[in-house]
Amino acid sequence: KVVVALGHRALGTTMPEQYKATRKTAKAIADLVEAGADVVISHSNAPQVGMIQTAMTEFARLDSKYTVAPMSLCSAMSQGYIGYDLQNALREELYNRDIYDIPVATMVTQVRVDEKDPAFEHPSKPIGHFMTKEQADFAEQHYGYIMKEDAGRGYRRVVASPQPQEIIEIGAIRTLVES
């Protein structure tokens, strides 16, 4: 078994970059499959979740009957669309190599964290776009965001990044890998 972990910007920062990166990544993963490896892919979703959160916030700003999506939902959305691109790219690459008997699936996962993790008291992970001081003040007042100045480039929302304690879907993951 081989776990391929794709880091923070491995899949690009825009949808077109992600589409291209997943095709390139699929070739390397297909090489592993051809060599006989059972492959599990894990990936970061940092740039993507920030883009989704920013888009959902802007949508809520344009029409008051809509609300800002919570980060958990934005994370699930990003996992879904990254997984969609990865599984389609990998399946296509496997088919190009006449490999038809390897199933490819995407799973959206959740993690359990310790509610007493100090990261909740000191959010430090910047997400989303840069804002002016006035925009940051508005986001703090209207959305309850915690905003921090980011290296002289403007203000960004910061969220907690607690240590994962458990992958909720680990049983389903093991079942898929073992089958």
- Name the percent of the chain in helix, strand, coil, to the closest 5: 50, 20, 35
Higher pLDDT, 82 or 143: 82
Of the candidates 52, 173, 158, 57, the one whose C-alpha atom is nearest the C-alpha of residue 110 is 173
Query: What is the predicted pLDDT for the residue at 155?
Result: 97
CB 112 within 8 A of CB 169: no
pLDDT in tens, 107-124: 999 999 999 999 999 999
The stretch 57-85 carries a mean pLDDT of: 91
Q: pLDDT at residue 60 above 90?
A: no
Structure tokens at 91: 């399946």
pLDDT in tens, 13-22: 888 999 999 9
Give percent of the chain above pLDDT 90.
Answer: 73
Question: What pTM value is reported for the model?
Answer: 0.84
